Amino acid sequence: MFRALHPVPARPSGTVRTCVLLVLLAGTGIAILELVREQTGTPGFFVGLGLALLPVVPLMAAFRWLGRAAPAPWSQLLFCFAWGACTAALIAILANNFATQWIAAATADPSEADQLGSVAIAPVVEESAKAAALLLVFMFRRRHFTGPADGFVVAGFTAIGFAFTENILYLGNAFVQDLADGTGVLDSVTAATFFVRIVLSPFAHPLFTVLTGLGFGAAAVSARRSRRIFLPLLGLALAMGMHALWNGSSRFGDHGFYVVYSCVMVPLFGLLVWVAVRIRRGRLQAVAGELALYAAAGWLAPAEVPALASMPARSLARSLARRSGGRAAGRAVARYEADAVALALLRNRARRGGLREADFADRERELLDRLWQCRTTAGPALARAAVMEELLPPGLDPSEPLRPSDPFRPSEPLQPSESAAGPAGPAGLPGPRRHQEPSVRRSGPWTPATPAGPSSIRPCVLPGGDGVR
């Protein structure tokens, strides 16, 4: 007798997940706006909203600058901001209020309940709610989570959104109090709150949550399952500890806030800025190193590699393309740059063991095919940008490998034992073969998605020209 098999539920598609998240964000957004407006009143809400908007754009620009070496999609970053501003803020307000009321009822001391809640409850609830956005991106958008820099940026945008809503609440309540007391502008609680939260410490919440983001980023490139679990939890624990120290600074005496601010927060902020710059520089170096292997195999022109590893050269290449072929050419170069950087970081991540071989091969083939189709437009623009930025070594002719009549054509896959370009990568990921003949072998364990002949390749060429001159 055969038993009927229970049907296995299908995993929700990306469209279903997107719709669910949009409904969740819309629902929590409406709820948090109404909750904040109810607590602050309509005048206080609009005053708080206007003042809380001031640091949002500069903070976003700072975190976007860090991620420009391999920019994440704006849709992902806006999701993180919306999660922090809506869902995480709503969870934090409801959970903190419930916990504070419970502690007050148990101890019969409301003031002690407020202090205990701000030090012991709020850091745990708020950092966990913000970390949920990072977890969702880590689980469902691993393609865009390639290292610590991505964790840094995702965490920053989530924390900016959370701080935005929190600032509306604090500034709105302060304004209502000033209206009731009839105080002047300079002596008002609103001015003091604005100075502390917007001028002195706009980076406080991003500073805490970035520690969680670095944990997720380190886990993304880790080969061990235990580290992929432990590192995010360690980052979350550090974020909670720093948050608790910041909230409890007023309990260290009359000058406790200034001591913690000057001796802990400012040095840590400087340290994380240094780490951010190092991460950005290291990512560009990784791009140069990994793309040099693909250039040696003929997938890229040698002149393109230094241009792709330089942010000014990338910007100049897009500008040259727009000037020569219009906005379509600029967009083509931007896509080419994004795909090339994604390819370099993919190989770098696989080299560290943070990616399965099958996933690496499929994604690499996809990116190489996309690069091949648009290289006729993007290659000359990048080569010219490299020349204008003086990035090429002496003796390198940037125009030689870019002849449309003699394209680089992939042939059969390169076997691991045939690798001739420096040290091999991880198991199953050999280094590309050196370019020695017009028909260049393709590196790695994949096969071409299109035939080798040039007629099968459809370059992204603009009408009326063969590229950017």
Q: Residue 39, Cβ neighbours under 10 Å: how many? A: 15
Nearest Cα neighbor of 131 from 164, 169, 166, 91 is 91
**pLDDT for position 13:** 57
> Which pLDDT score is estimated for 336?
93
User: Which residues are within 8 A (CB) of 86 and not within 5 positions of it... i.e. 6 or more apart?
Assistant: 25, 28, 29, 32, 161, 165
Query: Which pLDDT score is estimated for 99?
Result: 85
pLDDT per residue rounded down to tens, the chain (469 residues): 444 444 444 455 567 878 888 899 999 999 999 999 999 999 999 999 999 999 999 999 999 988 888 878 888 999 999 999 999 999 999 998 888 888 877 776 777 777 788 888 999 999 999 999 999 999 888 877 888 888 999 999 999 999 999 999 999 999 999 888 877 767 789 999 999 999 998 999 999 999 999 999 988 888 788 888 999 999 999 999 999 999 988 777 677 888 899 999 999 999 999 999 998 898 899 999 999 999 888 888 888 999 999 999 999 999 999 998 888 888 999 999 999 998 998 898 888 776 777 778 888 999 999 898 888 888 889 989 988 888 877 656 565 544 333 333 333 333 333 333 333 333 333 334 333 333 333 344 333 333 333 333 334 444 344 444 4
| Residue 444: per-residue pLDDT | 40
Burial of 31 (C-beta count, 10 Å sphere; 0-12/13-18/19+): middle
Contact in structure between 408 and 448 (CB atoms under 8 Å): no
Write down the pLDDT at residue 220. 85
In terms of Cα–Cα distance, which of 193, 205, 125 is closest to 157? 205
pTM reported for the whole predicted model: 0.78
Q: Give the C-alpha separation, 110 to 89, whole Å.
A: 23
Nearest to 136 by CA among 59, 207, 83, 66: 83
Q: Which two tokens stand for residue 212?
A: 């969680």
23 CA to centre of own chain: 23
Instruction: Look at the block and give the residue holding tokens 């009927």.
Output: 4
Q: Which residue has the tokens 């002149």?
A: 303
For residue 315, with 0-12 CB atoms within 10 Å meaning exposed, 13-18 middle and 19 or more buried, which class applies?
Answer: middle
Residues whose CB is less than 8 angstroms from the CB of residue 260 and which lie 6 or more positions away in sequence, other chains included: 245, 246, 249, 252
Alpha-helical segments (H) within 221-356: 225-247, 256-260, 266-296, 304-308, 311-325, 327-351
Q: Of 174, 171, 176, 192, which Cα lies nearest the Cα of 53? A: 171
Q: Tell me the C-alpha distance between 56 and 59, whole Å.
A: 5
> Which pLDDT value is given to residue 333?
92
DSSP 467: S
Which residue type does 295 have?
A: A
DSSP letter at 418 equals G
Q: What is the pLDDT, as a whole number, of residue 377?
A: 86
Is residue 72 within 8 Å of 150, Cβ to Cβ? Answer: yes
**What are 413's strand-pairing partners?**
442
Please give, one letter per residue, the 3-state secondary structure of 368-393: HHHHHHHHHHHHHHHHHHHHHCCCCC
Tokens representing residue 344 in the block: 């370099």
pLDDT of residue 442: 38
| Token code pair at residue 355 | 């990616």
What token pair was written down for 88?
């995480």
What does the pLDDT read at residue 394? 66
Closest of 216, 196, 178, 316 to residue 265, by C-alpha? 196
Residue that the structure tokens 């916990």 belong to: 99
